[in-house]
A and B are shown apart, each in its own frame.
Chain A
């Protein structure tokens, strides 16, 4: 009829699925013609009538929504809650593992002889991989839910009628706050990074002449008498600590397993610290050749060793105290019914 009507219909049809486009176009044209004719019969000029009709019909996209039964959303209200829940769970539970594992693998497998570039590489790689993993998780979870939504399948658990049994378990006193678990995780990682740096970097961090401050050291800081197997044991303990901290984050409760693992690790750490410091001494006696006498004297004094031992034992004791107190909390009356 006129270009204005054509343009209007074109915009509307662009929002209609291909299959029903011809059909809808025919119907829309019929509708507009009828409405325009109605106005012309009442004495309006044709051009004015068309403008009035199109203005009255409003935004062609809104009209297309009325006509098309295509959806205007990715995940509908029925699936939305499950979608958000799963997304949250996946992001908070999987990403920490990715960060930690990529960091460890990168650091241990690094070609860099210098420790600082190695750590920076590992940090960069773990951040990058974590971002990648986050994008993948969001994308694939969304795809799954879009498919679920389009195929009309309902999310697990949505088919049943809701009953009070579906209420989540009440928060109990033995709950491990997320902040605590994250702090524990960060602490473990910092200790691990620090030990690896000192172990690989030797004493160059403390050299006297200021040369090659960050290059690989010639004199190890740790006592070479300490057998290699002990170093591996420490590494295994760090890995185990990391796993337990991640489990705390995931499970969120002082379950028997987590409590047991925490106590066991704390005891083993304490024993390892006592054995290393008591049997061989932590610091390389030959360290004096690489640093000032005053500094060497401090590191080689018995109080330095004793302070390290004291810190190790104290942190083990605190770990055990926390774990046992958390585990026992559920025995108290006000939480009893929830168990």
Chain B
């Protein structure tokens, strides 16, 4: 049965993958650093591992959807991220897509015929 479990886990992971980007872009409209974001997302019920989130932040920064700034004032240097203008635009588009998918899937799951 563990084979079936692994397959299901894989599908669940794929379903979540794209949504993490949307969650990050939305959350970082106010600046934040990695660990705080991890906590915030966890509290919001978005499950994401550190070894996924930190590299993701770096990728989104490279894609220009996030901007970053090292804060060297505190006890130890911390990298702060914020959603860029391009990131906000992308976030809106992704959110729209999410809403559309949600509507469609809800209809399908309810067994209603699509018109």
Task: Report which A residues bind B (CB closer than 8 A).
Answer: 24, 26-28, 30-31, 33-35, 37-38, 53, 56-58, 62-63, 66-67, 69
Knowing A30-B77, A30-B78, A56-B49 are in contact, say whether A63-B55 is a contact too (CB < 8 A): yes
Interface size on B, residues (CB 8 A): 18
Knowing A34-B33, A37-B35 are in contact, say whether A56-B50 is a contact too (CB < 8 A): yes
- Residues on A with beta carbons closer than 8 Å to the beta carbon of B52: 66
Chain A interface helix/strand/loop/mixed: helix
**Do B51 and A62 touch across chains, with their CB atoms under 8 A apart?**
yes
**Do A63 and B34 touch across chains, with their CB atoms under 8 A apart?**
no
Task: Report which B residues bind A (CB closer than 8 A).
Answer: 33-35, 39, 49-52, 54-56, 58-59, 62, 76-79
**Do A30 and B79 touch across chains, with their CB atoms under 8 A apart?**
yes
**Do A35 and B58 touch across chains, with their CB atoms under 8 A apart?**
no
Chain B interface helix/strand/loop/mixed: helix
- Residues on A with beta carbons closer than 8 Å to the beta carbon of B33: 34
**Do B51 and A38 touch across chains, with their CB atoms under 8 A apart?**
no
- Residues on A with beta carbons closer than 8 Å to the beta carbon of B59: 69
CB distance from B114 to the nearest CB of A (A): 28
**Do A38 and B55 touch across chains, with their CB atoms under 8 A apart?**
no
CB distance from B5 to the nearest CB of A (A): 19
**Do B35 and A67 touch across chains, with their CB atoms under 8 A apart?**
no
Find the residue from A24, A26, A31 having the highest chain B CB count within 10 A.
Answer: A31
CB distance from B38 to the nearest CB of A (A): 8
- Residues on B with beta carbons closer than 8 Å to the beta carbon of A62: 51
CB distance from A220 to the nearest CB of B (A): 74
17 pairs of residues in contact across A and B, judged by CB atoms under 8 Å: A24-B58, A27-B79, A30-B76, A30-B77, A31-B35, A31-B54, A33-B76, A34-B33, A35-B50, A38-B35, A38-B39, A56-B50, A57-B50, A63-B55, A66-B52, A67-B55, A69-B59
